[in-house]
Amino acid sequence: MLEPPIITVNTVLSLLAVDYPANKLSCYVSDDGASPLTFYALLEASKFSKLWVPFCKKYGIQTRAPFRYFSSELVSSNDNSMEFLQEYRKMKERYEELRQKIEDATLKSMSYELSSAEFVAFSNVERENHPTIIKVILENKETRPDGLPHLVYVSREKHPRHPHHYKAGAMNVLYVGSGIAGLQGPMYGGTGCFHRRKVIYGLWPEGRMEIKGRRKLTDERLEKTFGNSKEFTTTAARILSGLSGISHCPYDLLNRVEAAQQVATCSYEYGTSWGTKIGWLYGTTAEDILTGMRIHAKGWRSTYCQRDPPAFLGCVPSGGPVSLTQRKRWATGLLEVQFSKNSPFIATLTAKLQFRQCLAYMWILSRGRRSIPELGYIALPAYCIMARSHFLPKLLGLSKTIFEVTKKDQSTTPVEDNDKDAGRFTFDESLIFVLATTLALLHLVALVAASIGPSHVGIESRIGEVICSVWLVLCFFPFLTGLFGKGKYGIPTSTICKSAALALLFLACIITRERKNDFNMTFTKLDELKIIIKLLS
């Protein structure tokens, strides 16, 4: 998980405290890395939730994530009564204790906790090689609407020899695991999207299955489609048959753990339709785009719902390597979808994907290819400055515009920040940083050349290119500061050398081209002079 444990805990607490009947709500936390720290944080959060959830429902708290609630101004519907203030202070102290416990566990790497009975399953596990681990942390056995919802920790089996299919594989395990518990409601799968289970299970809007034909849902057909778990095929058959709601007899989650562990193994999906015709689709790292497009291609319609404030907030990567690697993964996945049998054009011709939807998907899928012209546009201002040429239309008069630098008011009030390194860009020796560093150096050299260039070629004649180059320098400012940074906040020397070599190569090409043009221009002028002499003679 990319999110820190405290962020995961706050997300879980906000969901457990939502204003909804607890017997119709369940929270499943997927942890592909099988981190004992995440499980420990959820255990401590479950203890705090027994105080936090009643507090939120008693006073109608709208901001249900504790770290957001306690960091904002105190607002109460009860005019800040003494009873509320006492419980508020008590709740804030308990949350600080929870936060401190999780922080201490993070610093100690959980080595002292693995010996306890609850953490035996986490001993000797590796991030990419571990068995299935499912833990029921909270269970609403009485199915009381005013109780606490189910809270289940799920870490599916991972093995180096078996593909895990990234997020799509994890989401399919959650669908099957929660289905075994008898849950039949829609599921929030992240990215601000809810999916109805009958849609994920392969049903078309007209009521037919993904498999052609209208044959009866026999046990053999269900097993071939969904796998050999009798518990899950029973709940799946109820949904596909149009029966809604949870089973009349509430399931005991603890008794269903063994069945859930079976469906979370690497081999369960072999020979089934998971990932190909039902569930989240495999075959790309942009599984959310592919799954959504397949749903639209069947004729299902999605409804846009933007709440204010947003219901759930995520945590983006703060470091350079993780952030750029994630963007590279998305761009690669989008290209995989665009140039495959799952292309939107094919779905428009062979399925029910509307043409306007096709154009929208093509615009999204082409995001990775836009980097090629963007690279050319980024290098163009520096090239024009060094080559003493223009790329902006002179008919607009941009080269004659008078540019005056005006003094801007700047606040001198110091900003207090508990973490001075928050938001700073981090670097490593990955080749992914070479190109951006090269562009930053290139534009910096171009600006220096423009300021100390020949006097007969003033900066006013290239003001448009200079402005673009300055703007790009500001865009790449984290890389410029990284040239002088230290540790993980500084660009490695090897990356700087590679970037400098590429920048010098680019400049050498410009200089060679300019010398060739000057040479040709000299010969042209000599030829003109000879013609004039002949005419005069």
Alpha helices in 339-462 (DSSP H): 344-350, 355-365, 371-387, 434-451
Task: Please tell me the distance from the alpha carbon of residue 366 to that of residue 338, in angstroms, as a whole number.
Answer: 8
287 annotated as belonging to a binding site for a ligand: no
3 annotated as belonging to a binding site for a ligand: yes
Given 32, 417, 428, 518, the catalytic residue: 32
Given 104, 219, 288, 428, the catalytic residue: 288
Over 129-165, what HEC string results? Answer: EECCEEEEEECCCCCCCCCCCEEEEEECCECCCCCCC
Q: Would you give the DSSP letter of residue 35?
A: -
Nearest Cα to 187, choosing from 361, 26, 339, 348? 26
Tell me if residue 418 falls in helix, strand or coil: coil
User: Under a CB-based contact definition with an 8 Å cutoff, are residues 486 and 412 in contact?
Assistant: no
Over 63-119, what HEC string results? Answer: CCCHHHHCCCCCCCCCCCCHHHHHHHHHHHHHHHHHHHHHHHHHHHCCCCCCCCHHH
Query: Within the chain, how many helices (H) and strands (E) appear?
Result: 18, 5
Task: Please tell me the distance from the alpha carbon of residue 180 to that of residue 177, in angstroms, as a whole number.
Answer: 5
Is 32 a residue of the active site?
Answer: yes
Long-range contacts of 518-521 (CB under 8 A, 24+ apart): none
Is 146 a residue of the active site?
Answer: no
109-118 burial, b if ≥16 CB within 10 A, otherwise e? ebeebbeeee
Nearest Cα to 4, choosing from 91, 70, 67? 67
Binding residues for UDP-alpha-D-glucose: 3, 32
Binding residues: 3, 32
As annotated, the active-site residues are: 32, 288
